[in-house]
Amino acid sequence: MIEVSNIRTSFTTGFIRPRVVQAVDGVSFQIEEDETLGLVGESGCGKTTLGRSILRLIEPDEGHVVINGTDVTALSRNELRQFRPRMQMIFQDAYASLNPRMRVRESIAEPLKIHRMGDRAAIDRRVLELIEEVGLNKEHLNRRPYELSGGQNQRVVLARILALKPEFIVADEPTSALDVSVQAQILNLIRDLGREYHMSCLYISHDLGVIRAVSNRVAVMLEGRIVEIGKTADVLDRPCHPYTRQLIAAPATEPIENTPLVKTPKMVEERPDHLVEETV
């Protein structure tokens, strides 16, 4: 189980007059094994910062992340490196995630080598298994990223991640750059492999259709905070927070500024396991 409690992350911008931006402002939630939590919100709301903070790709200022009993936020740098294979991230731009000079074979073998998962022959065998699991074949092993399509590159990224058999993955808009038909292929793949490998997943997207398709539960983020969280059907079909309603609603709704936010917000349980931040 993944337990995230009270994560806060801020950035300081400006040189002469420093200004602090509170990108993530006290976020808590849990993700069960085999569960996918969808995280929605508009650009700039802090979704990506939250995802990165949980994996300590950005150091959070405060809060704890406990992954299956290990407090990740308390690990030393060395311990963190040892722990990395257990938590992984998928990024939006697969092409940029891969080393352009490496062939697919080397790219997939790299994490296995770094984390010393078997001798050469075992690694070769595993690479062959993985390439087929993600729906590519042996011929692709000798290609480089520029010789593959966006969807194929995202498959290679998935193979690299699966190589490590992580317990938790953060997927940050992994399909937003892909066409709908390719997106459907990749989403199905992520869903099937997630089940097979018993992973917990935090799935970040601003596409509500995608979120509905992949998530068991959904969290809605606004200005660094989670304003609503619950089962997918509850949040998306019976939204309670005005912002969620606006996110889901049909065209031409009121601008966000009209929704006043409470200074010290509390979460209210609207129905079982469906929490909504209080509004004025």
Partner 1 sequence: MDKALLEIRGLKVGFPTPDGLVRASDTVDLDIYPHETLGLIGETGSGKTVLSMAILRLLQPNTIIKGEIRYRGRDLLSLPEDEMRKVRGREIGVVLQNSGTSLNPVYTVGDQIAEAITLHQGLKRSSAWHRAVELLDAVRIPDPVRMARGYPHQFSGGMQERVLIAMALACNPSFLIADEPTKGLDAVTKREIIDLFREVNRDRSVLFITHDIEAARNLATRVAVIYAGEIIELGNSGVVLSEPAHPYTRGLLESLPERGMRPIPGSAPSLITPPSGCRFSPRCRCAAEDCKSEHPGLVEVGPGHYARCMLYDRG
The residues that touch partner 1, with contacts defined as CB under 8 A, are 40-44, 149-152, 176, 179-185, 187-188, 206-210, 212-214, 246-247, 251-253, 256
Closest distance to partner 1 from the beta carbon of 156 (Å): 14
Q: How far is CA 19 from CA 13, 15, 43, 223, in A?
A: 5, 9, 20, 16
Q: Residue 70 or 176: which CB sits closer to partner 1?
A: 176
Closest distance to partner 1 from the beta carbon of 43 (Å): 5
Q: Residue 74 or 249: which CB sits closer to partner 1?
A: 249
Q: Residue 133 or 167: which CB sits closer to partner 1?
A: 133
Q: Residue 34 or 192: which CB sits closer to partner 1?
A: 192
Q: Residue 117 or 184: which CB sits closer to partner 1?
A: 184
Give 151's contacts (C-beta < 8 A, 6+ positions apart).
178, 179, 182, 185, 186
Closest distance to partner 1 from the beta carbon of 74 (Å): 34
Q: How many CB atoms are closer than 10 A to CB 190?
A: 24
Closest distance to partner 1 from the beta carbon of 250 (Å): 9
Closest distance to partner 1 from the beta carbon of 194 (Å): 15
φ, ψ (nearest 5 deg) of residue 60: -70, 155
Own/partner contacts of 171-175, CB < 8 Å, gap of 24 or more, are: 171/89, 171/90, 171/201, 171/202, 171/203, 171/204, 172/47, 172/48, 172/51, 172/89, 172/90, 172/91, 172/92, 172/204, 173/92, 173/204, 173/205, 173/206, 174/90, 174/91, 174/92, 174/94, 175/205, 175/210
Closest distance to partner 1 from the beta carbon of 57 (Å): 22
Q: Residue 36 or 73: which CB sits closer to partner 1?
A: 36
Burial label, 212 (beta-carbon count in 10 A; 0-12, 13-18, 19+): middle
